[in-house]
Amino acid sequence: MPAFRPGLEGVPATQSAICDIDGRNGVLTYRGYPVEQLANHSSFLETTYLLIWGELPTGEQLRRFEYEVQMHRRVSFRIRDMMKCFPADGHPMDALQSSAASLGLFYSRRALDDPQYIEEAVVRLIAKIPTMVAAFQLIRKGQDPIQPRDDLSYSANFLYMITERVPDPMAARIFDACLILHAEHSLNASTFSARVTASTLTDPYAVVASAVGTLAGPLHGGANEDVLTMLDQIGSEDRVEAYLERAVAEKQKIMGFGHREYRVKDPRAVILQELAEELFDRFGHDHMYDVARRLEKAAESRLGAKGIYPNVDFYSGLVYRKLGIPRDLFTPIFAIARVAGWLAHWKEQLGANRIYRPTQIYTGASGKTWLPIDTRSSGAGA
């Protein structure tokens, strides 16, 4: 039997042609294209098309995809009514997981070998997930969700639906670049979860719902919320070193640092930092950015030798805050982007499916005999 590797670290669990990470040199590519090029020149919908169908679209293919997504942005009033019953203080990731799963009730056909069904499911999920995130945002404030606007791009429309204002074009472009940076990242926990679920040949809504649940944890997508909380706790630049000393001494993790795949600074963090600076130049400085930069510098000497550097979550929260996005929507926004990657993996998994069924090393008891309840001492078996 092969050696047990906790967390399957370094164990290949699939073959994939979607995304490649060179963690030593900090290089990330989607279908062979460096993520920097995509963040600078592509759009989130074009990148989604690339990830799912494997090639950049022609102008006509992209126009058709954008049109289909635009046509499917609205969600049924029955889903909106269901969301009105969710507790207003519930986490938006839980609301998203429930509402994503509910799509399966409305579109439950399981013809997984029908390319048209695959295409429709892709379009519906890419189109409706942002609308559901925005709907819960307004519903929990006691308002009715606002309808998507057909004259706005994918990203501008999402910002409009949550802030109720048409965003500045530069803000919408930066948000779109953030979605590109979060769209895919090989076999991370939520994508693995999506592939395991996909391998049972269940419907794509269940695939996305299981991945949303996995993304919600603080060691995965939830870290970007925690980064801002940590920066707020530190409060000012002069308190950075003391905070870091204490965290290292107490073996606490610095949120937004470290990555299983990278031994250098996450290339997405490099781009997000540039985007943050662009935003601050235009819309005003956030002094927490100075705290973050000082923490990065101080952490380099303390943690750099172990290969622990800022990851994608370190600067994304600062960008989202400047865009006026509430903190607990950061992870749902990660999900909006990552749906593209999950669906690419869903489609790839269906193309060469074998149900996931790893083995285990049993470490429990053996040879026990069941006893009638009145003859048992506490917790004991014979």
258 lines the binding site for ligand COA (CB under 6 A)? yes
Q: Which residue is nearest to ligand COA (CB)?
A: 258
Position among 125, 161, 254, 340 found at the interface with ligand COA (CB under 6 A): 254
Residue of the chain from 64, 78, 246, 260 that contacts ligand COA (CB under 6 A): 260
Sign (positive or negative) of CA dihedral 132, 138, 140, 143: negative
Neighbours of 251 (CB within 10 A): 6
Question: Pick the catalytic residue: 182, 185, 259, 345?
Answer: 259
Smaller CB separation from ligand COA, 72 or 253 = 253
Rg (CA), the chain: 22
315 binds ligand COA (CB under 6 A): no
Tokens of residue 89, six digits: 């203080």
DSSP state of 140: T
Per-residue binding letters, 279-308, with ligand COA (x by CB under 6 A): ------------------------x--x-x
Q: Residue 9 or residue 113: which is nearer to ligand COA going by CB?
A: 9
Q: Interior CA angle at 220 toward 214 and 221, to 5°? A: 85
Judged by beta carbon, residue 239 or residue 302, the one nearer ligand COA is 302
Query: For residues 243 and 352, is the Cβ–Cβ distance under 8 A?
Result: no
Q: Which CB atom, from 88 or from 219, has the smaller least distance to ligand COA?
A: 219
The answer to whether residue 176 forms part of the interface with ligand COA (CB under 6 A) is no
Interface residue with ligand COA, options 312, 333, 337, 343 (CB under 6 A): 312
CA-based end-to-end distance of the chain: 31
- Distance, in Å, from the CA atom of 80 to the CA atom of 84, rounded to the nearest integer, reads 6
Q: Does 255 bind ligand COA (CB under 6 A)?
A: yes
Binding of residue 354 to ligand COA (CB under 6 A): no
Out of 182, 266, 313, 345, the active site residue is 313
Q: Does 223 bind ligand COA (CB under 6 A)?
A: yes
Active site (annotated) includes residue 72: no
Which of 98, 99, 117 is closest to 109 using CA atoms?
Answer: 117
Q: Please, which of residues 234-253 interact with ligand COA by CB under 6 A? A: 253
* Half-sphere exposure at residue 68, Cβ-oriented, CA atoms within 13 angstroms: 17
Dist. CA 254–CA 264, nearest whole Å: 16
Smallest separation (angstroms) from ligand COA to the CB of 6: 8
Q: Does 335 participate in binding ligand COA (rule CB under 6 A)?
A: no
Task: Please report how close the Cβ of residue 208 comes to ligand COA at its closest, in angstroms.
Answer: 19
Which DSSP string corresponds to 255-287? Answer: TTB--SS-SS--HHHHHHHHHHHHHHHHH---H
| Residue 114 annotated to the active site | no
Kindly state the tokens that stand for 131: 């609308």
Buried b (16+ CB within 10 A) or exposed e, 358-368: eeeeeeeeeee
Q: How far is the CB of 157 from ligand COA (least distance, A)?
A: 27
How far is 199 from 87, CA to CA, in rounded Å?
33
96 vs 272 by CB, closer to ligand COA: 272
To the nearest whole angstrom, how small is the minimum distance from the Cβ of residue 139 to ligand COA? 29
How many angstroms separate the CA atoms of 13 and 230, rounded? Answer: 34
β-bridge pairing 19-22 and 27-30 = antiparallel
Active site residues: 259, 313
Binding site for ligand COA (CB under 6 A): 7, 219, 223, 253-260, 303, 306, 308, 311-313
